[in-house]
A and B are shown apart, each in its own frame.
Chain A
Amino acid sequence: GESVGLHLPTLSVQEGDNSIINCAYSNSASDYFIWYKQESGKGPQFIIDIRSNMDKRQGQRVTVLLNKTVKHLSLQIAATQPGDSAVYFCAENIAGGNQFYFGTGTSLTVIP
């Protein structure tokens, strides 16, 4: 399969600080990316997506940045809250394909 990896397997941040979670992807033909949040005992929950014709997309407290030159994706969470503690996955879809490739995830812990 394709390689979608995260730079940091764990991340701890202080409540109120901003968090940045990074993801590297390997296939330059990937044209759609999703960030998912998975809380303990639950399924992955859609956070935000971005298509390859964009380099930035903002949601509520979250921003995804896409750098196609270096095949890098990041998720920024503003004013991190305890409820943000979870594992975050990036997933890529290669143009023309139905399959998403997921990274192994980054565990975010928010310290109150």
Chain B
Amino acid sequence: DSGVTQTPKHLITATGQRVTLRCSPRSGDLSVYWYQQSLDQGLQFLIQYYNGEERAKGNILERFSAQQFPDLHSELNLSSLELGDSALYFCASSATSGGSRETQYFGPGTRLLVL
């Protein structure tokens, strides 16, 4: 158990809908990272938040957004969902601002299925 928690575990929704995925980092960790894992693309970095502020952006679509709250939990919002958004979404956390000083610890993921 990495100490990172994610809810829900599974989510089934329809195209065009909006969903929110939730992540709580390990106790004391200030950074939260979101990743998308699909069968044909592996793990793709979406976005990082550090202590409430956006720190780094990867391959995140404009339909997706995230935020980190004062208690350091984070939410990933996915809107106008398309079939291709079906994937596993992972959250990871690290102690401070990230980079070459820090290991990222992953949560169990949320499996999203868009029908």
Contact = CB atoms under 8 A, between A and B. Distances in A.
Interface of A: 1, 31-32, 34, 36, 42-46, 49, 51, 89, 91, 93, 95-105
Given A43-B2, A43-B108, A98 B42 contact: no
B48 A43 contact: no
A97 B99 contact: yes
A93 B103 CA distance: 10
A34 to B, nearest CB: 6
Given A43-B90, A93-B100, A101 B108 contact: no
Contacts of B55: 98
A103 B107 CA distance: 19
A32 B43 CA distance: 17
Given A34-B103, A91-B43, 19 more contacts: A32-B99, A32-B100, A32-B101, A34-B104, A36-B106, A42-B108, A42-B109, A43-B4, A43-B107, A46-B103, A46-B104, A46-B106, A89-B42, A93-B99, A96-B99, A98-B97, A98-B99, A102-B43, A104-B42
Contacts of A91: 43
A96 B108 CA distance: 28
Contacts of A93: 99-100
